[in-house]
Amino acid sequence: MPAIPRSSFAKTLGVAVPASAALLASHAGAAIVSTDLGSGLAITPTGPNTSLYFSAAIDDVVGNTGRASYSSTDSFQFQVVFVQPSDMKPQFIGVGDSSFAVQTSSPFLKSYSSGDTVPGMADFSATSLVYDFTSGATYVGLRFGNDSVYHYGWAKVNIQTSTAEDKRMTLYGFAYNTVANESILAGETSAIPEPSTYAALAGLLAGSAALFRRRQLRRRAA
């Protein structure tokens, strides 16, 4: 059996490699900017900190990291607040053109699990929102921008309302996608190719190998 010329396979593979690189580059353009608050910032309805303000991007400048504070002396994109001591649930408020994800056809805040796509099936609202999901750690969807150019993000929170005496909301961090109108995965802190991208890449390489084999069979039959 004659040896298979390596140059022939290299030429065939050369068709696939640029296309493969293009697939990976399509996601590489995304940059996730995240802000980690460590052990978190907490608010309670009866303590000195009843409100929490945060921005995914400082001054709305895309590429900036975010910040969080108990003070509203600076401009912020989002606010979470216990309006009065009797409140069992904090309210989530978008400031200006910023907004939180809400359940479709519902006035309630939407809860995301780690790895869920934000926005996914969600609307957005800047009005005061409360939640109707079980207390505990979860992700909420964020959106900021204007004129139909929006950036999507997530914030990790833990809401504890097991008893009237032990009500608390803790913010652990948040992130957003610097590419306008592109989604982000809840909990994602860096842009990595999705499984579908790897599947497409594998299919492209497999197709190139099959094409190479067919060419070799035709040469032998000639």
Lowest mean pLDDT among 11-15, 91-95, 114-118, 214-218: 11-15
Average pLDDT over residues 54-59: 96
pTM of the model: 0.73
Cα distances from 202 to residues 13, 63, 192, in angstroms, run 13, 32, 16
Provide the pLDDT confidence category of residue 188 given band limits of 50, 70 and 90: very high
Report CA torsion sign: 112, 147, 77, 102. negative
DSSP state of 108: S
pLDDT tens profile 60-94: 999 999 999 999 988 999 999 998 877 778 999 99
Residues 6+ apart with CB under 8 A from 202: none
Whole-number average pLDDT of the chain: 80
- The burial class, CB within 10 Å (0-12 / 13-18 / 19+), for 45 is buried
The β-bridge partners of 128 are none
- Residue among 129, 111, 128 nearest 120 (CA): 111
In eight-state DSSP terms, residue 205 is H
In the block, which residue shows the tokens 């479709």?
Answer: 104
Name the strands in the sheet holding 166-177, side by side, starting at the edge strand that comes first in the sequence: 32-43, 166-177, 149-163, 136-146, 99-103, 122-125
Q: What is the pLDDT of residue 147?
A: 81
What type of residue is 36? D
Residue 144 binned pLDDT confidence (cut-offs 50, 70, 90)? very high
Domain segments of the chain: what residues? 6-28+195-221, 32-185
**Confidence (pLDDT) at 161:** 76
Question: Can you list the positions of beta strands (E) in 99-217?
Answer: 99-103, 117-118, 122-125, 136-146, 149-163, 166-177, 184-185
Residue 91 near residue 80 (C-beta atoms within 8 A): yes
Tell me: cis bond preceding 119? Omega within 30 of 0 counts: yes
